[in-house]
């Protein structure tokens, strides 16, 4: 299992929040699960990254009561600026992926 590279972590976190708000451990499970085990995101990387995205204005957080009667949870959601950033980062990824595919999948001349 590989850790998320710093350039892809923001994209993965923004993408995890695109459908609906999530609390921290739900984000972690979503990213790790959807990657088919390719990523091994840990709490020690997750929360500093979430705080950085809050400071950037791409996500916001609020405390919500737990649906299971436990302690309140901090829930994160995309802001409008975060949706714009997600779109831009998705475009960057597609450009990079296309360039790498051209190199890796090139056909003999």
Q: Does 83 fall in a domain?
A: yes
CB 61 within 8 A of CB 74: yes
Distances (CA, A) of 34 to 15, 49, 103: 11, 19, 26
Which CATH number belongs to the domain containing residue 13 in this structure?
A: 1.10.10.10
Q: Does 107 fall in a domain?
A: no
Q: Does 71 fall in a domain?
A: yes
Q: What is the pLDDT of residues 16-74, one digit of tens each?
A: 999 999 999 999 999 999 988 888 899 999 999 999 999 999 999 999 988 788 889 99
Q: Which domain holds residue 57?
A: 6-102
pLDDT greater than 90 at residue 6 = no
Strand stretches in 4-106, DSSP E: 22-23, 59-64, 73-78
Of 74 and 4, more confident: 74
Beta bridge partners of 31: none
Q: How many domains does the chain have?
A: 1
pLDDT at 5: 64
Q: Does 77 fall in a domain?
A: yes
Q: Does 90 fall in a domain?
A: yes
Q: Does 87 fall in a domain?
A: yes
Q: Does 1 fall in a domain?
A: no
């Amino acid at each position: 299992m590989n850790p998320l590279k710093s350039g892809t972590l923001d994209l993965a976190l923004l993408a995890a929040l695109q459908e609906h708000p999530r609390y921290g451990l739900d984000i972690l499970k979503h990213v790790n699960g959807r990657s088919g085990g390719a990523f091994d995101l840990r709490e020690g990387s997750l929360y500093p990254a979430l705080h950085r995205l809050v400071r950037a204005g791409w996500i916001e957080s609020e405390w919500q009561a737990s649906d299971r009667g436990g302690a309140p949870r901090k829930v994160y959601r995309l802001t409008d600026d975060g949706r714009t950033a997600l779109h831009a980062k998705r475009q960057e990824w597609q450009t990079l992926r296309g360039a790498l595919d051209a190199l890796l999948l090139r056909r003999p001349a």
